[in-house]
Amino acid sequence: MPSTSYLIAVLAIVFTITLALRALPFAVLGRLRGSAMVQQLSVWMPVGILAILAVTALHGTITTDPHGMAYALLAVAVTIGVHLAFGHRTILSVGIGTALYVVLLNTL
């Protein structure tokens, strides 16, 4: 078992690196705010992150449950519909789509 001082040192290093990596984009963003690339990223990055999240979250259920694919596609369609119908509110659309998916998996 490593000593307490060793564990504290490792945690301090990890904390410093994590803080620096999280703060660096915000420090650079101030200078790049008018950049066309940053403006494009601000549009497409949330969509990409949600797509990656959806694929990784649904992969296990789709491959193990025969009805999982239909439930997932229905929940994704509802999520998209709610997102477009209610003013691009991501938390609302993801919340409703997730709730629908959970209800479908657990009741049907």
How does pLDDT run along the chain (108 residues), one tens digit per residue? 889 999 999 999 999 999 999 998 888 877 887 888 888 888 888 888 878 887 887 787 777 777 788 888 899 899 999 999 998 888 999 899 999 988 998 887
Q: What is the DSSP letter of 2?
A: -
CB 62 within 8 A of CB 68: yes
What are the residue boundaries of the structural domains of the chain, listed by start?
Answer: 1-33, 36-107
Predicted TM-score (pTM) of this structure: 0.57
